[in-house]
Structure 1
Amino acid sequence: MSSSLDKQRQKQLLSWLKVQTKQRKKILRSSVLMGFMSAICIVAQAVLLALILQNLIIVKSDFIAVIPYFIGLMAVFVMRALLTYLREKINFVLGKSLRQSIRRQLIDKIEQVGPPAISQYTSGGLSTLLIEQIEDLQDFYARYLPQMRLATMIPVLVLIVVLPFNWAAALILFCTAPLIPIFMILVGMGAADVNRKNFKALAYLSGHFLDRIKGLSTIRLFNQGKNQTNAIHHAAEDFRIKTMSVLKMAFLSSAVLEFFTSISIAVVAVYFGFSYLGEIHFGSYSGTVTLFAGFFALILAPEFFQPLRDLGTYYHAKAQAIAAADNIETFLAKPTTDVIKQPQINTVKIDKIDTIIAQDLVILSLDNQAIVGPLNFSLTAPFNIALMGASGEGKSSLLNLLLGFLPYTGSLKINQVEFNTLDLTAWREQLSWLGQNPYLLNDSIRNNILLANQNASEDNLNDAINNAQLTDFIKQLPNGIDTQIGEDAVRLSVGQAQRIAIARALLKPCKLLLLDEPTASLDKQTAREIEAILAKNYHTCNIITVIHHISEVMSFDQIWQLSDQQIHIDK
């Protein structure tokens, strides 16, 4: 039962991989055409070589008489080399464009599913998915897929040209050819599973290692360095074992394919050898096996099997691609709020926020499990709301819903318009968000602030810096506003990073500001400073703030207590 399901899954993934080529059919056909033209050159090459040998050995012609054949042979060599070069270029372009397309789908998906879904993955796991696993699709698209078509076309071409000269040689080739595909199928049954385990081990190792690097200070503080080193060692050893299993499968398949190919070519050679000795008297239509027919068939015999051998060599690329596609397709198949919430073709755009009304609102997770609700509330602009409650009650989930990252049931209306009919892009243009750990890019302070508005003027940028109380701090830096902050803002204190995030938020005018515990990770003094900045700068927009305690610096119109799946309002 399990094996049957696994085979079904492999078929589904292979179909998904092939569907990705729909927009690149012209490039794929060009690659196949180049390969087929190269095969025609091989046939011409075999004809010319056989004619040269026939004239020199049997006919006893002068060397001058076969010079035109030599010139033709050189021309075919050059043509074949050129076709091979063009085919390699086309194959690379095909693989590159498909990898870019799939990577773009993944990045778009990450943007659609938002923080609730991304938080389920480690940074290392996502990096492996976006980089290494996509790169492992290259050989499938650039090698295996075009070769799969040529593996059918070229052997048929060889049979067609050999059959008129010797039907026995054609029959031998025809009967021995299925040995290679049969073995490829047997190898492929286990190869995809081995590669899938390898990818899982790599994703675990990447995520595990990156998480330990980020938490190095904590690990050393609690004297857990040796234990964590052992854990990384075991993860690396598991990955090594699984990688060696993949290599063993690849080497075994190549060796057996070469074995079967050699036997088949040897049978053709033995047939012609005994024919020339007079022991075999069948196969030739004229009753005599000519030297031309023998050399022609023997030259083409390796070329008959070469496409199948190449397909066998690239067959592990198929197993590797299926294993990579398992994770990629699973991620792309995740439900998104855009799909769940917006079935309409024409979505509604709004340019202001007058009211937000919820009736029997139940916020769902991405797998349609209820998180909190039913909630009922009504807000009329202008409003400044404090949302309080114990951890896990669903405060951040409400903000994620308003950001458009979570689905819901019941009713949520903005200006009397149901939320699931809004254009999310236009809606998010009305919003600004600030959390307790806002992400800053490994870039300059300037570029991090301008992330909110790339077209902001220098005056607007300076105003945002002044309002966020960053002016004195920036003046002390050697490169000023162009100072690099490092990965995860390692060169900044938590308070400085939060001020940069505030400056970024201030640079984007908004109609609704969502604050998710912006001072939770700060010390008391810094928290009061940040609260004062927010209170001073945000008095012209609507605000919903998730907090754990009421600050004397910030004033609110209403205080909402979220508990027992209900909102209790204290005015």
Structure 2
Amino acid sequence: MRTRVKSSEQQFLFDLQQQQRKRFQMVKWLGVLIAFSIVIQALGLAKVFAELVLEGSFPLNAALLAGAAFLFKTVLQYVREQICATASRTIRFSLRKRVVEHLTHLGPNRLQIDEDAGLSTRVYEQIDALDDYFSRYVPQVFLVLFIPLTILIAVIPVSWIAFFIFALTAPLVVFFMVMVGHKAANANRKQFTVLSLLSNQFMDLNQGMAELKRLGQTDRARERLSLTASEYQKTTMGVLRLAFLSTGTLELFSSVAIAMVALYLGLGLLEQLPWQVGIAPVSLFAAFYLLLLAPEFYLPLRQLGSDYHAKQKAEAAATDLQEIFAAEPSDFMATSSSKLPDKKGNGALIEFENVSWSTSGRVRLADLSASISQGERVWLRGASGAGKSSLMSILLGFDQKFDGRLLIKGQLLSSSMLDEWRRRLAWLPQTPEWIQGTIRQNLELGLGKCHDADLRNALIKAQCWDFVGGLRFGWDTPIHEAGTGLSGGQMQRLSIARALLSQADVWLLDEPCSGLDSDTAEQVLNTLDEVSFGKTVLIISHDTHPVSWADQKWLMKEDGVYVEA
């Protein structure tokens, strides 16, 4: 016996579906009741129509039976749709949380998958693309098996010919559904790729708009974005074209099949069938019964044909989502967290022992052997490409495939202690990340609700209170991703205030004065001097003029790191 092998996308979707197994099981039982109510409704209506035509009487009992079956079916379908919508929403919420957490653990390595705008498209657009799959396609797969099967069984005692018409035409509907659906899958994958490209371009152009204006290249940028938008429009229309083609094809075959049943019943009632002239193969009651069941037989098939497009769309989205989970954070070279001897006996908080890092034959970080004690402030300078950012990535725990050892308070940094280590860190990148929201929301990002007194105290220490208090809405003033309306120095001071609110005792700063004029840079460094006293600080910079208040000064070159006197 041959078993059907699921593709990786199908297995991914199946695993997600299993999270809501109980709800989908309930949906199946509701489908069983819906199938029975369809047959009972057809029986009641057929009885009403037959007696009205033949005897001129109105059978109240049959009418009440049909009405009750219709009402029961309507309620069941509503409950079924609500359960499916809840299951889909729960699955997507859980999946989005997993994706965001995984991207968080990847850190800067997430850019190996796609740019941030493209990743945000996957987190929002492509996860939401799974909605129709779980809310419509998955429950419809069971209905498309059970309802036609129930109707076929109900038709057998009435007419073998109608049974064979149903049984022979149903596979044709499925065949054309699958044939058109495969083309839709490729179209959806192309659409998602173009959408990701469009998102990345839009973010890049938005961030670099000031530079584009300075260079006079805004027209070329607009043309480039317009071309990608036109391509996305074409792919979207291609997907819609296939969807309409699929729906039209299924409607055609369903209509032809229903017409065949109607033609057979009509000629039979007129006693004009070529092989049965003068004899009516079915009664008027049976004819009405079969005619009422015919649309209900093909309805689940037609609906599945429309929803099959959702399946192909979901599989296309699953391909990109799997790529995110396939990107694993770098493993630690050593996983032992046992106590190690402190060779220098200096109680160092951070200790590097012959740390070096090479990838693809390129040296990213040369030999480093040095230590930083609790409360020490270190200033690290070096040219571009010397490995400063690589050192920061190692300290943040995002890249651990390096040679040598990194010790934290005498313990080898391992995956088991990484979360605890990161809680001690305040990371101030060269270009701080901001979200569209108020200043307060940006300061509290990742920290939770802060008391007004703590917020005010952090702003005062970071020398932000004067300009924040001067804004119309104070710390409730909205800012954009690029910090529109605030200067570079003000944004850096707000980053310092955010670090203070985090209560981290280890600060890692990457080019805190990058892009600032000399006076503003000096003011920022003076602020750092005041607020970072007593904390363990590592600042990396291209500047040749040392930070006067640093306890240690390191010089990073291509052949290693030197601790200056």
Q: TM-score, normalised by structure 1?
A: 0.88
Cα RMSD over matched residues? Answer: 2.9
Counterpart position of 1:127: 120
Selected match of 1:38 from 14, 20, 34? 34
Matches within 5 A, 1:171-320: 171-276=164-269, 277=271, 279=273, 288-320=281-313
Decide whether the 8 Å contact of 2:509 with 2:540 is kept in 1.
Answer: yes
Q: Choose 380-389 or 501-510, whichever is displaced more.
A: 380-389
Which runs of 5 or more residues in structure 2 are unaligned? 341-346
Counterpart position of 1:386: 379
Decide whether the 8 Å contact of 1:275 with 1:281 is kept in 2.
Answer: no
- Name the CA shift for 1:390/1:28 in 2 (closer, same or farther; >3 Å): same
Matches within 5 A, 1:344-493: 354-363=348-357, 372-373=364-365, 375-382=367-374, 383-410=376-403, 411-451=405-445, 453-454=447-448, 457-493=451-487
Q: TM-score, normalised by structure 2?
A: 0.89
What is the rounded CA distance, in whole Å, between the counterparts of 2:250 and 2:476 in structure 1? 59
- Name the CA shift for 1:181/1:530 in 2 (closer, same or farther; >3 Å): same
Decide whether the 8 Å contact of 2:16 with 2:91 is kept in 1.
Answer: yes
Shift of 1:131: 1.9
Shift of 1:97: 1.5
Shift of 1:229: 2.0
Q: Choose 75-84 or 481-490, whichever is displaced more.
A: 481-490
Counterpart position of 1:17: 13
Counterpart position of 1:4: none
Q: What is the SS of the residue equivalent to 1:539?
A: coil
Q: What is the SS of the residue equivalent to 1:133?
A: helix
What is the rounded CA distance, in whole Å, between the counterparts of 1:126 and 1:364 in structure 2? 27
- Name the CA shift for 1:170/1:545 in 2 (closer, same or farther; >3 Å): same
Q: What is the SS of the residue equivalent to 1:99?
A: helix
- Name the CA shift for 1:55/1:482 in 2 (closer, same or farther; >3 Å): closer
Shift of 1:528: 0.9
Decide whether the 8 Å contact of 2:334 with 2:412 is kept in 1.
Answer: no
Structure 1: which amino acid aligns with 2:129?
Answer: D
Decide whether the 8 Å contact of 1:531 with 1:554 is kept in 2.
Answer: no
What is the rounded CA distance, in whole Å, between the counterparts of 1:355 and 1:317 in structure 2? 54
Structure 2: which amino acid aligns with 1:379?
Answer: S
Shift of 1:169: 1.7
What is the rounded CA distance, in whole Å, between the counterparts of 1:224 and 1:67 in structure 2? 78
- Name the CA shift for 1:540/1:20 in 2 (closer, same or farther; >3 Å): same
Q: Choose 548-557 or 101-110, whichever is displaced more.
A: 548-557
Decide whether the 8 Å contact of 2:439 with 2:478 is kept in 1.
Answer: yes
Deviation per residue, 1:442-466 (Å, 9 max, x gap): 3333343344754655444333223
1:163 aligns with 2:143: no
What is the rounded CA distance, in whole Å, between the counterparts of 1:371 and 1:291 in structure 2? 87
- Name the CA shift for 1:280/1:163 in 2 (closer, same or farther; >3 Å): farther
Counterpart position of 1:3: none
Q: What is the SS of the residue equivalent to 1:408?
A: coil
Shift of 1:320: 1.3
Decide whether the 8 Å contact of 2:338 with 2:412 is kept in 1.
Answer: no
Shift of 1:146: 0.7
Counterpart position of 2:344: none
Deviation per residue, 1:348-367 (Å, 9 max, x gap): 899xx8443344544477xx
1:88 aligns with 2:88: no
- Name the CA shift for 1:189/1:533 in 2 (closer, same or farther; >3 Å): same
Structure 2: which amino acid aligns with 1:40?
Answer: F
Q: What is the SS of the residue equivalent to 1:568?
A: strand
Structure 2: which amino acid aligns with 1:15?
Answer: Q
Q: Choose 35-44 or 290-299, whichever is displaced more.
A: 290-299
Counterpart position of 1:341: 332
Q: What is the SS of the residue equivalent to 1:423?
A: helix
Deviation per residue, 1:106-149 (Å, 9 max, x gap): 21122111134248644432332222222221111111111011
Counterpart position of 1:499: 493
1:519 aligns with 2:518: no
What is the rounded CA distance, in whole Å, between the counterparts of 2:215 and 2:113 in structure 1? 26
Decide whether the 8 Å contact of 2:427 with 2:508 is kept in 1.
Answer: yes
Identity %: 33
1:321 aligns with 2:317: no
Shift of 1:412: 2.3
Deviation per residue, 1:31-55 (Å, 9 max, x gap): 3333332221111011112222343
- Name the CA shift for 1:271/1:472 in 2 (closer, same or farther; >3 Å): closer
What is the rounded CA distance, in whole Å, between the counterparts of 1:47 and 1:15 in structure 2? 41
Which runs of 5 or more residues in structure 1 are unaligned? 1-6
What is the rounded CA distance, in whole Å, between the counterparts of 1:113 and 1:569 in structure 2? 31
- Name the CA shift for 1:182/1:214 in 2 (closer, same or farther; >3 Å): same
Q: What is the SS of the residue equivalent to 1:489?
A: coil
Structure 2: which amino acid aligns with 1:41?
Answer: S
Counterpart position of 2:343: none
What is the rounded CA distance, in whole Å, between the counterparts of 2:195 and 2:535 in structure 1? 47
Decide whether the 8 Å contact of 1:532 with 1:553 is kept in 2.
Answer: no
Q: What is the SS of the residue equivalent to 2:514?
A: coil
